Structures are given as C-alpha cells and as structure tokens.
Structure 1
Amino acid sequence: MSKKFLVLALIAGASFQSFAQTQKKAAPVAAATEVMPVDPAVKIGKLPNGLTYYIRKNAEPKNRAVLFMAVKAGSLMETDAQQGLAHFAEHMSFNGTKDFPKNELINYLQKAGVKFGADLNAYTGFDQTVYQLPIPTDSVALFHNGFKILANWAGYVTMDDSEIDAERGIIVEEERARGKNAQSRMQKELLPVLLKGSRYENRLPIGKLEVIQSFPKEEMRNFYKDWYRPNLQGVIAVGDFDPVEVEKLIKENFGPLKNPANPKPAVAYTLPDNPTPLYKLVTDVEFPYHVAMVMMRHKGATTKTVADARKNMVVSMINNMLTARLNEIKQKGNAPFLEAQFSSGPYQGGMIPGTDATSVVAVSKNAEEMSSALKAVMAEVERMAQFGFTAPELEVMKKNIEAGNEKGYLERDKTPSASYVQQYLKNFLTGSAITSADYRYELNKKLLSTITLAEVNAAAKALTKQQNVAIIIQAPEKDKAKMPTEAQVLATIKDAAKGLTPYVDNTVNKPLLEKQPVAGKIVSEEKLQGLDVTKLKFSNGVTVLLKPTTFRNDQIQFASFGAGGTSLADDKLVEVVGYTGNIGSDGIGDFDNTQLRKLLAGNTANVAPYISDLHQGFNGGASPKDLETALQLVYAYATNPRKDQAAFKQNMDDFRVMLTNKNVTPEAAYKDTMNAVFTSYAEREKTPEVADLQKISLDKSFEFYKDRFSDASGQTFVFVGNFDVEKIKPLLATYLGGLPSTGRNEQYIDRGIRPLPGKVEKTVRRGIEDKASVQLTFHGKFDYSVENNLQLNALSDILEFKVLERLREKESGVYTPNVGFSASKLPTPYYSISISFNCATANVDKLVAAALDEVELLKKNGATETDVEKFKAETQRAQELNLRENGYWLSYLTSKYRNGDDPLSLLTFNERLKLVTPASVKATAEKYLSGSNFVRGVLVPEK
C-alpha cells in the first residue's frame, strides 16, 4: 500500500488559471515604487473599436502558435433571468458561427489536427470568458483561418434556435458530471459565508438549472450582443510566425467588429468586510473527512511595481517555510492532525480582484480530535507570528528561489508559447506586469540579496492579523453532534497562542554520502543509429542509455527499471511488506525528509525510488550542474535507505483514517468493485481494510526494500536532456557503475492477475444524487506489436468521435463521454477499450444501448474517410510536438527497453500511420470489440 496524499475539495469555486511568467530582454531594474517595464518583445496594440491585442514571436514549439480570445465578461454580468448564460454563450460559440455553421468549426479543426477539448477549448468565470486555439503555422490557410475563427467567436455566433435547445441538455449534464456530489452540496451552504454580501454569492458560472432549461432564446442573444463587444475583448497571439503579418490579420478580422450604441457598464464587484467572525458548520453523508479552515481576508494588489514583486516573494517565502514546519511535525510521527495547510495569496484563487487571504487548514483524524488538530496548526501559525523564522530557514528558502531564478533564466529561449499567452491574458484581465526574463532575473537577484529576516518576520506577523475572519468546519453527517461548537472553535484559536516557545532547527550537518563509491568500468559501448542514443554497459551489470537533446537548456530527466517488484512477494506476504513503497519517501540514512530538504537547498536534483508490481527503479531529474547530486541520491536511496519508526507510525495513522472512511463516497465503493472485477478478485490486489494494517511490518518492508535494490545488475537507466555523453561518463561510472551487484539475474513473477473473463455486469447502488457513472470495457489477450497498437489506438479515437457525436450531440444525454485504450505487454500482452460517461439515472439503459449501437455500426461499416483523416491529422500533429519533448523520449525509450521492443520502430511511424484505413478500423473493431470479454459497470444512487 503506497502513501496517498489527501486531495480535499475544501472550498469549491470557478476554475482559475495559474499564470507562468517567463520572458526575455529587459530594461534596467526599476526603483521599488516604479511600475515595472513592459517586455519590449511583446507588441501591445488597440484597434479603433477598443479591442486590445498582444503579439509575440516565439519558436517554441516550432511551427505552432497559441491564439486566445478573451472577453471581460462572465457570470457577474448576467441578469437574474440570465443566470448561466455567460457559460451557455461559450458553448454556443462551438455550435455555429457566420463562417462555420453548425459543427463545421470542430470538424474543420479536427481535420487539421487540432483536438477538441485537449487543444481547442474555452472556459467561463465570474468576470471573464476565454477561448483558446493552439494551431499549426506551417499551413498558411489554416493559420489565417485561426484568426477568422477567433473573430467569429468575438462577434458572429449565430445562436440558432435548434442548437440552443440541443445545448440545454448538454449543460444540464455538465452540471451533473461536475456536481451532484458532497462537494457541490456543501458548496451551496458555504458560499453565503465565503461570499457574504457580494454579487459573487448568487452568480456561479454554471448558473441555475431552471434558467438553463427554460430561458427565452432572445435572452441568450441579448447577453451575447451586450457583452461580446470589442472594447471588452482581447486577442493574444504567440508563436512561430511573422508578427507583422499577424497584426495585419488581427486588424482585418477584428477591425469590423462594432460596439453597441448604448453599451452596458462593466461593473467591478467587491466583497464587503465582516467585523465579526463568520462561522459555518456544514456536514454531508458522503463527505469522508473532518476539516477546519480559518481564513483571514485582507486587501490585495495587482502586481505592477517592484514593491509588489518584493511583497510576493516575501509571502512565497513565508508560505513555503511554514509549510515545511508543518510537514516536519508530521515526519516526527506524533502529529495531532492528519493533514495541515497554510497559504497566503489571492482569495479563492483570485476570484475577487483586490482581495487576498491567509488560509489555515487542519484535517483531524476523527471528530473527537478536531479541536486538538486545529489548535496544533494554529499554534504553528502563532509561533511564526510571535517568534518569526530562523536565519537558517530563510537561507534555505533563498537558495531554493535562487536556483529557480537561475533555471528560469537559462531556459528563457525555450519558453513555450502557452506560458507567454497566460501572462498576457493576466495583463489584459487584471493589468498585472509583463516583464522580460532579463529584467526579472536581475530583479529577483536584487530582491534576494536585500530581503531581510526582520522584513520576513514582520510580514508573517501581518499576514496572521485576525480580520475579516471566516471559519468553516466540514465533517461527515454522522459526526455532526460530535463537532465542536462555534464558541469552542473560537476558544481553541485563542488558546493556540498561549505558552509557545521558538522553533528549534534540526539541521543535520554531514555529507549525503559518507564515502565515495568504488567506480565501475564501462565494458561495452554502442550507438543506436537513427535515434542518437548511446548504450553503455558497466562492469556491475548496469545498462545506461543516453540521449542528449537541446529541447531544454537546463534539464536532464532519467528513469530506471529492473525486473522483480512486488511480484516477488508471495500472496501471503503482500500485506506484510505493504509499506515497502513508502520507504523511499521517508528520507535517507540519518536524514529525515525535513533534514534532506535542508541539505539539498538550492539544488535542483530530485530522485524518487519506486517499487511497482513488476519492477523497481528510480525516477528523477536535475539541471546539468546538479546531475552529480541526483546520481548521489540514487546511490544513497539504493544503499542507505532510512528506517523511520516515527514516519511509519504517522503513515499508519493516516492510512487507518483513510481506510475507515474509504467507502463513504459512492465513487470509492464503485472503484473498489471495478478493481475487483478487473483483477478477478485476486487477494493480493484487493483494497485493504483497516484490520489489514496490523499485518504490515516496518522491519519486513524495510528488508524487502533493501533486497529489491541490493542487486543493480538488472537495472537499466535512461537519461534524456542537455548533457555531453563523454563528460558525464565518469559520473555514471562512479554512482551507477558503483552500485552493489550480485548478478542474480532476477525476473518478475507472473501472478496471473487478469480481468474476469466472459460477460460481466456489476451495478453498484450508492449515493443520494441522480447521477450515474457508466463504464463499458472490451478486453482480452492480443498480439502486442507496434502495428496492432496503432490500429487499436485509431479504433479507440474514432470510437470516441462516434460516441461523442451520438451521446452528446444527438442524445444531449452526456457532457464528456470518454473512450480510453490501454495495451500492455508485461506480464502478458493484454488490451482494453473502455467507454465511460456520467448521465441521469433514468438514461443509463438508453445511453448504454446507443453507445453499443455505435460499436456495432463501426464493426459493420468501419470508419469513414473523414474519421480516419481526423485521427491521422491529430496523431501526426501530436507526434511532431512529442518528438521535441524530453519527457516523451524518456517514456518512449524506457518502455521500449523494458518491454524488449525495437526502439528503431519509431523511424517507421509514418509508414504505419498510412496503414490506418476505413477497412483496417473495421477489421480491428470486428476483432477487438467482439464482446466475448466485456464488463458493464454502473454506479447508480441507492434510491
């Protein structure tokens, strides 16, 4: 059983973007009160009609551009009769425009290799609607049409009556797919507290279902005409193109757009103060945890000046240093909380401009320990406020920020276009600064050298000022009576400040490795022609594959594998050694995780050992300058793992809580059932119960871990990135060639874990909402080969085209049906193709029948030429991007050598792609969608 991190949907809201900031070219660093200069590499202009545009030439990725069209309008602009229509307007933009009727827009782009959902997409927030279109630039006609598409969204959506009516059901299903759960139910109770007295409280972007299902069509058109206007719109274009030509295209396509004669004012809404603390206890029968959140709201500011940048850096330091302290408490094994979080930043992810908040979260192990958990976390916040941080803590943080600053600067000419687009989008929407990489690099260096401990500690104290306080308690319904009262919670927060002492640093001052390994020797070397891969064999049996690239300036990634894994543990011992996968995350030797983090401050090296079913090995990476440290970590994890009794106790406590609550959510019960079906109820694959924890032994898990890494003779390492093969050979010889080796020549054991054969139907009845989840899976043995894999991939993608068109567009019964394909070679070749979707309970049988009807039609008629054209275009375009990514090459080479396949098969990819035809898809469907091995799994509510 591996350590799982709790993912808590604590407070729900709209989806917000994270904005990367990476540019180049700079002006001198400004004084603290001055506005930071705009990066001269971006062209910012405004048309006579008020539309703003941003243009930047950028060659990463090559022959690609990212186009955005943003509207400063969202759900806040809706009238009571229009609630949900901002989001509805976004949907309608894909259902017919002046130049692209009906679904022609999506069809046109798919044929060009632009994938709907993954590439072509949009989102709606409270005060913004944003459309994104990554598009190739090596086709002049396609690239030019990209701007026509954006302009069609901006002002020429047709809003056809029949399309509006068809889309109503799809949006209802979107709300069902994303909501109808404990999170959405609790959200409805929390919003009146979190957004009390503001317009945000009653304007969630999804809207009201009663409005969506019945609004007069003219309301839709009115909203579009009122708010989709050029003086509220921005166009962003970044990519491998001629900026002069792009500016001309923007003027041609967007210049004719006109503003309404009497435009409605765009009002900026705020959140009023609350002088007394707001409090809310909310429970739900399907919520599995006990959570307390304390929020202290304060005034925020858009980042425009050097002073703003300085404040942001200080706050980031505080967030990370206090988070490190909370993690350290958990590492010690006696934490009174299950999880703890601290963060200061934009309130609710930036939902309300100009509003920041400090948030403190405590997750307790049960209802009885809620007060002690909250007190422990608040005590750390108060300890920070009273005594501040220590000089060593700040030194660690500065080293880490400095390392990130250096890395970002070294990668400045490899920054992907999507990163620039996000920064310009934020500038358009909020007015935040657009700085160059050179300016930012020098500014960060200056800030790091001048930020003092006293300044950080003063800011930390200010961030914890208890004003505009909101306290949220969330718990399972069954424990409602056991939860502390409002008075008790307030008393707990007050008491947390009493009797505190300063934090004591626990740095261990010793080297990572006590002595250097005895280096091994290279016994063979060969070149893999056509792929620029060098293969080395060391005297201890370790194999190393090296692929130098120039895709990134400051990145090396690596992975390794050796046969064995947990398959070598007998069925009766699987639970006994069930902690093995966590040993590597508990530290190294004398260093616990906290001490290891401090030792590696400023170092980009990261390494994680793993033990899977069939293999064990390492995943990691580093900047070229830190590669030696990464290799030292590999050696240390293999030869000197940490046996941490405190961490073991804490993790067992965490597991106990998670397992106790695991079946509270309907999805967890459904997942357990499906897992049992797909493993034929194998004992070693079952989801553990609380009683099973007693069988786990740290001693035996530790010994199993050591055994798995005691013989490196079967390990194969793959390195991809910016390195010189000859220069890194000595490092590889020392730390990989020096790994212990016994020459056991181990192999994994095939434990016979397979899905149940034949036709299987499982219906799980759990939950209280009208929401069903369906999974239809065809599976079986097959002849694993690159040819068959590609044909199965084509079948899966084309089936998804069909299912999407049938279930979403024709039936209006689902939001996002998915067809997934997997093929594995080890331990025995096996494939599966699954159709999955969420829908109304009453529609399950109808939609299952419709999905299976599309399967039968595909078997009978095969794919259309258009279907095949779309698949080939999307696959070809994706492959062009993949071939310039270190991560793709690492995954490709690792899988090929792990499976014993020919890595040179990549060179004939285009020839295999040509073999995908309507007839080949038909033959593949007949063979692999026969239904002889078929699982129908359905989750429906209890009533």
Structure 2
Amino acid sequence: MLTDLSATLFRVGCALLLAFIAGCSSTPDTPYTLYQNEHQPTVIIWENSNSHSNNEATLQLVVQAGSLQERDDQLGYAHFVEHMIFRGTENYPRAEMRERLRELNVDIGHHSNAYVTFDHTAYWLDLNSIEPERLETGIEMLSEWAYRVSFDPDDVESERAVVLEEWRLTEPEAERASQQVFADFYAGSRHQERHPIGTEDSIRKATPEGLREFYDTWYRPDNMAVIVTGDVDRDQVKALVDQHFPPQPVAADAPVPQQWDINPGAMDPRPAFTDPYITDGFADMRFFQEAPMPTTAQEVVDRVQEELALDVLIDRLDRRVTETRGSVAWFNWYREFSSPNVRVLDLEVSLTEDDFELGLGLLEEERQRLLAEGIRQRELDDWRRRRLEQERSEQDSAGHLAGIALDHYLYGWPMLSQAQWVALLEEAAPTWTTESVTAALAEAMSVEPQVRIIHPYRMTPPATETIDGWLASAAWVPDETDRLGNGAEQVADWTLDPAYAGSIVRERDLEHEVTEWTLSNGMTVWYRHAAANPGEVSFQLVGLGGFNRLPEAEVVTGRLTVEAMTASGLRNLDGPELRQWLQRESITLDLGMDFFDRFAYGNAPAERLGLALNLLHIGLTEGRVDPDTAEHQRAQGLSYLQQLDNHPHRPWMDLLHEQLHRQEPAQRMLTPAEVEGASTEAMRAFYDRHIAGAQNYTLAIAGDVDRDTVRQHVLAAVATLPPTEAPLGATRQLPVPTESGQWHVAGSGERHASILLRYAIPKAEHADLDRTAMLYMEHWLDEVLMDEIRTASGLAYSVQGDTEGYSRYHDDYVLWVHLGTDPERVEEAIERVEATLARAATVDLAQERVDRWQQRMENDRRRQRGSADWTVGRLAYAQLFERAPTVGLDGRYANVEAAVLPELLSLFLNDSAVRSEFVWLP
C-alpha cells in the first residue's frame, strides 16, 4: 500500500494548509464545488460525465499526515495506521469490513487501496457504477476510516506480520544502490530518517495504544478532505457527506502539520553508487531550485514552455544515439517538486556500457547548443501543434479529476478541467516564441547542476575531477552538417503507387455495430465507431503465427530483424527522423512479433487515418534494415550479455529458460554468437518472407471516424497490399514443463523469497472446459488467498492467482500463484497456499458471490467499451483466442454456475496435473 520506491524518492513533502473559511466556493467557471465548514472535513465535489467517463465515480479520503508527522518513537506509524484501516472499524470489525467492501463490489487493490507518502495519506474507492446505494456505502466507508478504526490488539498483531512482509519487499539491504540513492537525496533533511515504511525495529515495537494515539492526533476533520469526482449529483453527494461526516470537536491545541523541505546543499554534488546487481550505467544532471509549487493557472501554463524546450533537447539527443554504437540506450528528462519549495529538473542518460564520458558529454554538448543557439522555429511549430492536438483529444475521467483535487487540497494546485486547460493552452501557445522558450529553459538551468552516476559493479567510479573534466570538454560546435535535422524540413513522401489493385469482395454488418470487410488479398478488416477520445482513431494488425511458425534456427534472425527494422526508418527518413516526424504528426506506428503472432499497432488523429494507413502499407512493403542501426542494436545486445556473465541473477534466469521455457529460442537469452551471426542480408530476407505483404493479417480499426471514410482508406492502403504466399503450416506450441518438479535458486539479493507455483492441465483432456469460468476463478482465488495467506497468517504482503492458456497455441490451461515471503517461511507459505486451495476446492460456493464478480467484471468492461484501443484489441485478436470478433463488445460475460468453480479448481489440484514450484531466495 506504499507508493513504490521511485515515486517515494521524489514525492513532494509536507502539505500546504488551506485557509479555513466557512461556506462553499463555486462559480460558473469552476466545474467543482469546494466546501469548508467548521468541524467537518474539506469537501470537494467535481461532477463529470463524457463519452470517455460516465457511470463512474472516485471517492477519496485525504489526511495531512505522513511519515514527516511521526515522532522519533513513531517511525512507520502513518503506514501502519493505513494498514489498520482495512482491518476493521467499530461498526465493521475484522472480516465484516472486507465483506462490506465486497458487497460494494470493490476489489481491494484494484478498485480500493491506500498509500502513504512523506506528507499525507490517501484512501480511495473507484466505483465502476454509481447506483445510489453504492455511492452511499462508499462515503460511509470513508467516514469509518476517518473516525472509527478499532485497533484491536489481535488485529494489530496479525497486521504486524503483513507490514513486516511489505517492509521485506520494499526495503533491500543497505548496500543496495536504491538505498544509497535514498540516503543521498534526502541527506540533511527530516525525510532521511522518515522513510514511510518505517524500520523493522519500529514495526515490531508498535503497540495498539501508540497507533491509536497517532490516529487520534492527525485523523480529525480540520486535517482531512473528502473528494468525490465523476458522474455524480453534487447535492446528493453533499447530503451524504453531511450525513456520514457530522461535525466533530477539535482540540484547541491540535497540532498543525509542519512543512519540511529537502536540502540539496547537503547532497553530494558528484555521487556515484553501485551494488553487485547493477548491470547498466545511468547518469543524470540535476538542477535544484528553490521555487514554490504553482497555485495559479497562469503559473502552470508558463511551465509548458520549459517542457517544450526539454522535449526538443531529447529529440536532438535521440538523433545521436546510433552514433554511440550501442553505448547509449536512451536519454530522458523529468521535472518534479521534491518538496513544497524545492524543484528538481533532471536530464538522464542510460548506458549499456561504462562510457559515462560519452553519455554525459553528449548530454552536456546538446544542452549547451540549445541554450546558445536556441530552438528552431520549426521545432516550436511542430511541438505546439502536436501538444494542442493531443490535449484536444483528451477527456476528463473521475480518477484524473480526483488527483487534481487532491493536489489542490494539499498544495494549492489549480483545479482545471481538461476543457479549461485546453482553452488556456490555445490562448497561450500562439504567444510563445523561440526566444521565450529558450529563455524558459535557461532559467530552469540557471544553477550549477549536480551529476549523479549509478555504475556497473565491476567499474571503478570516476572521481569528481574526472566528471568535471568531461563536462568542461563537452563544448558544442555549430551543426554545419545539420545532423540534428534542424535546418530545412525533411520532406517525407508517403503517397502510394501500389502494383496490386485490391478490392473489397464482401461487406457485412455484424452485431454491436461492427462492419466487416473481406479483401481480395485475403485480409479481413473490422471497423467500429468509438468516441472515448474525440478526434482520434486506433488500429491493430494481427497475423496468426509468430516465432512459433519458424524453424528454430530462423527464430534468432527474426528476433534481431524486428528489433533492427523498427528502428531503421522508412523511405528517405532514418530511424530518428521517422520517430520525430511521427511525433510531429501525432501518429503512432509500432510493428512487432512475438511467439504467437506478428502485429502492428497504430494511433492517429482521425483526419490523418489515411496517412497512418499509408505508413502501415509502406512498412509492410518497403521495410528496411539499416546496417548502422543493426550494428548499434547488435552492440547493445552483446554488451547486455557481457554484463550478465557471472551476475548474481544469472542462475535464476538460466533456471527459467531451462525448466519453464524449455530453451525455446523465442524466449531464452540469445548467445553472443547468435547476436553476432545475423547479417543484414538475412534480416532483409526474413522481412520479405514473414512480414511483408498481406500475409494472413487481419486489421481492426476503431475511433472517432465514420465508416465511409474508413472504407475509403482501407481500399486505398490495405486492400492494395500484395497477396503473400504464407501458409501457416505447422506451428510449435508454447513450450511448458511436462513433468512436475521443484527448483529453488539463491541470489536475488532481496530480503524476501519469491514463490511461483504453476499448476497445468492439458487442453486435449479438457476440451469442454469453460474459459469464462477460469476468469471468475481468478477473482475467487484472489479473495480466498488474500484472506488466508495475507490477512489470517501474515505470510505475505500480497498473493495472487492468475490463469493462462487461452490462445490456440497453448497446449495447457495453467493456474499460477505468486507471492513473496520471509525466506525462513518458504515451506510454511507453500503448504498454506496448497491447503487453502484444497479447502476451496471442496466448498459450497454461494451463487451470490459469483454473480457479484460477474457484475464487477461487466462494469469494468463497460467502462472500456468506448475506448478505441480496447475495441481494436478485442477485434484483432479474436482469431488468436478462438472466438468470434464481436464477443464481449456488449460488455457482458457469460453466466457461470457457482458449483463449476470448485470443480474447475480441483482439476488443477489433481495428481495428474503438472505442478512446478519455482523459489528465488536471497
């Protein structure tokens, strides 16, 4: 329930208090209403309904108390209290709380959860339908958590085991690089000794009385907010909040959350970190500034020019990656308020080798060039147009608005709907100039940067003087050859002159408003209107058979071909030029191949669907493998393999390749000889045989575009793909263990042990197995395992059951159970899991519970129905999963009788099932 470590490292600090005034604030220009009444929580209600988000709501309880509010004898208490919320309250003790949430059809961890940061704690409920009784129950639950947590001594003791397991998962040994990074980033600040998870000692010593004291001190109406967003009625919600959050007295001497900032001056300006598990190199330049968080719309808009300049910088660096011959993997930037009044801007480079001089040198060279020469007018125009198109296509969701409301309550961040934000950008964007954008970046980088290095274990870290020397020698020179592409615009011609004159040979209207076209080249195309993202369209191409249709010797060539081809560009644009052109046009096009299929995914503004499909046509007829790009990819692969030699994780990886994947070349690690052996000629031949042309592809198109327009573009760009002689032929099924076995391997370097339990039954012997029932079984087992393994026994922080085997290339149906636990309790955890499954297989399961899971899944699916991405996925992958393309588009799941689920589970526990046990120990 903690945010992950990377988020925790840079989470903003202590909360800014809102001024306390009675009454509410709302104007025609503010689509939300904010209430602040004496002795009640601040209440923010934000009504929202659109084609992307309707019949849903997000409910949040936000408390201005995190680890910074803990005394020295309370370390980890904010987090421990957050855990106790779900253990029970005065009105819903112990299991009654879990059952009440399940009656609400809320899946803890998916629709409900909580987190703790340095400065606040937040609880949330996602309601995927907003019947009045569900909304009221949700608000009632928030009030229970706010005022009536019980802290029963037995519950505290049980939850202590769970918190310790979470500590074990999130707290690696002190010598690990992540711990070194944490200690350096928070040096000289209160944060350094206030990691939200606490310490092992503080968790073990926590008492019910101590947790109650922390709760009573900070969980009070003047220190919390109730946020409700989504397809709700404001007056109804306000009445429910008043009913369940009546005025509560607040002590006159109640403490006010204090504000703390991090201390960049106490950090090492040139730190270097490593541990035995680090393989890749990473370096960044960090610019810390004292700056308060924006509280007005204008301040937020002003920050966009800085984003523009940073994106341009990364675009320029991206064009230079291939000249590093595999040494540099990528460049990136991020910007964050690390505490209320300290902002960090970070330029990052990831390396596959040890050449920090090269990576930092390129970063500094292009940074200096941009600050000296400025951005170009074309770069400004392209970015501005792309950003506005992207923002115009977005719509608010309940969850997104809840996040904005939370930041407003805590930090004063302006509450802007997407429509308001777009209007502000449309007004501001035309006023931006190349000079103003460059000046914005110069201001953000007006301080001396800190340089941090995380290096492979085998390397001696560079001295401070060495790093300073690298930066000093990275002087830029004029780009006379225009290798950065900043001069005249590179004109791309994507017109088609196909040799094959294709046609539509059949058109059918299917259920759920799907149109199906059969083309003369053998392809099938489906279309459905979907308007969740106005003005956007998505498409998905799928060809049955991937690496499994190839002779094993050709799989290696295929893996390397796909990687090199997708980075090589098209026609007169090389890889970086194509990527930047696609960004300018707001078009996405990704081609790939995996074990099961060959595929392409695309997304574009609706008015550029024809252009995007032309690109798809060219990608399937004129694909290329650039020798320099292939060499860059080859060098990266060899570097990665070299780094894994004698790595502590290598035995675990080898075990999975051998026992789970059976050395399948599509899934195992390649050898250096294999990486070096594939020539560009072999790659081009592979493309011609297995990717080019119509093959056996199907295509799904969905979005905010009408059928006649789609039909026109399909005729021009898809029907004209040349037919390909590519019979599917014999295909290999997914390799799997064929005999039961147990494998335990050490070397993870973590404090916990990872357990994977796999139970497999052959499809051939269970042809009539209900696949939908397997999905219901996942929900059932998640509840059963969480109740027993986590809540009752404290053996794991999280435990989950998953199923697989749905594609035509699976020979088995599989049940997976995975969890992490104390290395000393591995056998106990496995025995408890298997005993729990065995008992579940004999229960008389209530139909009411199954119907509840069905309703939950259908509500979730119906929220996705308007999504173009979800729609094209359902349509395009129908053949792979052996179902009709329109199945599920209505949002429904087939009914399943409760008695089926225990019977189904018993099949996986039968002696004839193949049971595989994989355990990864520290």
Same fold, judged at TM 0.5 (above): yes
Is the Cα contact below 8 Å between 1:288 and 1:664 reproduced in 2?
Answer: no
In the alignment, what sits opposite 2:507? 525
Residues 1:242 and 1:519: Cα distance change in structure 2 (over 3 Å): farther
Tell me what 1:430 maps to.
411
* Residue range with higher mean Cα deviation, 599-608 or 324-333: 599-608
The 1:757/1:43 distance shift into structure 2, 3 A limit, reads: same
Answering whether residue 112 of structure 2 is matched by residue 120 of structure 1, we say: yes
Correspondence 1:638 to 2:620: yes
Residue 585 of structure 2: aligned partner: 603
2:133 counterpart of 1:141: yes
The correspondence for 1:169, drawn from 152, 161, 171, is 161
Are residue 573 (structure 1) and residue 554 (structure 2) matched? yes
Q: Distance in 2 between matches of 1:534 and 1:785?
A: 31
Q: In the alignment, what sits opposite 1:21?
A: none
Q: Secondary structure at the match of 1:429?
A: helix
2:463 aligned partner: 485
Residues 781-840 of structure 1, C-alpha deviations (whole Å, 9 max, x = no match):
226879611122222322222221121112111101111111233225431111111111
Q: Structure 1's 185 and 491: CA in aligned 2 closer, same or farther, altered over 3 A?
A: same
Structure 1 residue 526, shift from structure 2 partner? 1.1
Measured in 1, the distance between the counterparts of 2:166 and 2:689 equals 49
Residue pairs, 1:248-263, within 5 angstroms: 248-263=239-254
The answer on 1:394 being equivalent to 2:386 is no
Q: Are 1:496 and 2:474 counterparts?
A: yes
Q: Equivalents in 2 of 1:273, 1:812: separation in Å?
A: 39
Answering whether residue 473 of structure 2 is matched by residue 473 of structure 1, we say no
Query: Deviations along 1:28-74, whole A, 9 cap, x unmatched?
Result: xxxxxxxx999421111112125211112223543321111111111
- What does 1:565-714 correspond to in 2, within 5 Å? 565-582=546-563, 583-600=565-582, 602-662=584-644, 669-683=651-665, 685-712=667-694, 714=696
Q: CA deviation at 1:124?
A: 0.5
Which string of whole-angstrom CA distances, capped at 9 and with x for unpartnered residues, describes residues 179-215 of structure 1?
3268x83233233432222111111111111001112
Change (3 A) 1:764 1:632: same
Q: Deviations over 1:513-553 (max 9, x none)?
A: 2544465221111111x322111112222211111234442
**Alpha carbons of 1:723 and 1:392: their partners in 2 closer, same or farther (altered >3 Å)?**
closer
Q: 1:15 and 1:800 mapped to 2: Cα distance?
A: 32
Q: Tell me which residue corresponds to 1:79.
A: 71
Alignment match, 1:20: none
**Aligned-pair CA distance for 1:171:** 0.9
Contact 1:336–1:376 (8 Å) recurs in 2: no
Against the structure 1 CA distance between its residues 526 and 363, is the aligned structure 2 distance closer, same or farther, given a 3 Å change threshold? closer
Q: In the alignment, which of 526, 547, 560 is matched to residue 541 of structure 2?
A: 560
Counterpart of 1:26 in structure 2 is none
Instruction: Give, as a single letter, the amino acid of the residue that structure 2 aligns with 1:807.
Output: I
User: Is 1:231–2:222 an aligned residue pair?
Assistant: yes
Once the two structures are superposed, what CA deviation does each residue of 1:360-416 show, in whole Å capped at 9, x if it has no partner? 33334434x2233322222222222232222222222122122223323xx4xxx32
What displacement does 1:676 show? 2.7
**Unmatched tracts of structure 2, length 5 or more:** 13-25
Within 5 Å, give how 1:171-190 maps onto structure 2.
Answer: 171-180=163-172, 185-190=176-181
CA–CA distance in 2 between the matches of 1:786 and 1:239?
42
One-letter amino acid matched to 1:716:
T
CA contact (8 A) 2:393 2:533 kept: no
| Shift of residue 89, structure 1, vs aligned partner | 1.0
Distance of 2:176 and 2:406 partners within structure 1:
32
Give the Cα separation in 1 of the matches to 2:868 and 2:476.
52
Q: Match of 1:860, SS?
A: coil
1:407 aligns with 2:385: no
Corresponding letter in the other structure for 1:82: Q
User: 1:277 and 1:902 mapped to 2: Cα distance?
Assistant: 60
Structure 2: distance between partners of 1:86 and 1:14: 17
Contact 2:172 2:179 in 1 (8 A): no
Supply the distance in 2 between the matched residues of 1:400 and 1:126 (Cα, whole angstroms).
36
Counterpart of 1:29 in structure 2 is none
Equivalent residue for 1:891, pick from 849, 865, 873: 873
TM-score of the pair, normalised by structure 1: 0.90
Q: 1:214 aligns with which of 201, 205, 210?
A: 205
> Are 1:339 and 2:319 an aligned pair?
no
Structure-1 separation of matches of 2:602 and 2:400: 24
One of 753, 758, 762 as aligned partner of 2:743:
762
Paired AA for residue 472 in structure 1: R
SS of residue paired to 2:586: coil
- Does 230-239 or 189-198 show the bigger shift? 189-198
Is contact 1:364-1:373 (8 Å) kept?
yes
Aligned partners of 2:710, 2:846: CA distance in 1, in Å? 51
Structure 2 residue 909 is matched with structure 1 residue 929: yes
Deviation of residue 136 (structure 1)? 5.0
| Aligned 8 A contact 2:541 2:601 in 1 | yes
Question: Structure 2 length normalisation: TM-score?
Answer: 0.92
* Unaligned residue ranges in structure 1 (runs of 5+): 1-8, 18-35
After superposition, what is the alpha-carbon deviation per residue over 1:714-764, rounded to whole angstroms, capped at 9, x for unaligned? 22111122222123211110000111224x252153224421212111111
- Among candidates 91, 97, 100, match of residue 105 of structure 1: 97
1:505 to partner: Cα distance: 4.0
Please tell me whether the aligned partners of residues 796 and 821 of structure 2 are also in contact (alpha carbons under 8 angstroms): yes
User: Following the alignment from structure 1 to structure 2, what is the Cα–Cα distance between the partners of residues 69 and 865?
Assistant: 33
Q: 1:908 to 1:47 in 2, by over 3 A?
A: closer
Q: CA deviation at 1:773?
A: 0.7
How far apart in 1 are the matches of 2:687 and 2:768?
Answer: 34
Counterpart of 2:39 in structure 1 is 49
- Determine helix, strand or coil for the equivalent of 2:274: strand
- Answer whether contact 2:543 2:697 (CA < 8 A) is retained: yes
Residues 909 and 223 of structure 1: CA distance in aligned 2, closer, same or farther (over 3 Å): closer
Note the C-alpha offset of 1:470: 3.2
Judged with a 3 Å threshold, the aligned counterparts in structure 2 of structure 1 residues 466 and 553 are, in CA distance, closer, same or farther, namely closer
**Which has the higher mean CA deviation after the structures are superposed, 44-53 or 659-668?**
659-668
3-state DSSP class of the match of 1:509?
Answer: coil
Q: Amino acid of the residue matched to residue 348 of structure 2?
A: V
State the secondary structure of the residue aligned to 2:515. Answer: strand
CA displacement, residues 231-271 of structure 1 (integer Å, 9 cap, x when unaligned): 12111111222211111111222233332341112111123
CA contact 1:401–1:602 (8 Å) conserved in 2: no
Q: Answer yes or no: is the 8 Å Cα contact 1:565–1:748 preserved in 2.
A: no
CA distance in 2, matches of 1:395, 1:910: 45
1:796 equivalent in structure 2: 778
Decide whether the 8 Å contact of 2:588 with 2:602 is kept in 1. yes
Aligned residues: 897
| 1:835-846 matched pairs, under 5 angstroms | 835-846=817-828
- Structure 1 residue 59 and structure 2 residue 37: aligned? no
Q: Is 1:95 the equivalent of 2:87?
A: yes
SS in structure 2 opposite 1:274? Answer: helix
Contact 2:543 2:597 in 1 (8 A): yes
Q: Is structure 2 residue 378 aligned with structure 1 residue 378?
A: no
| Structure 1 pair 201–592 and aligned structure 2 pair: CA distance change class (3 A) | same
**Does structure 1 conserve the Cα–Cα contact (< 8 Å) formed by 2:289 and 2:447?**
no
Letter in 2 for 1:790: T
Quickly say closer, same or farther: Cα 1:795–1:306, change in 2 above 3 A: closer
RMSD across aligned positions (CA): 2.7
The match for 1:6 is: none
The answer to whether the aligner puts 1:871 opposite 2:862 as a matched pair is no
What CA distance in whole angstroms lies between the structure 1 residues aligned with 2:864 and 2:269?
Answer: 50
Cα gap change, 1:745 to 1:99, in 2 (>3 Å): same
Q: 1:195 aligns with which of 163, 175, 186?
A: 186
Contact 1:126 1:351 in 2 (8 A): no
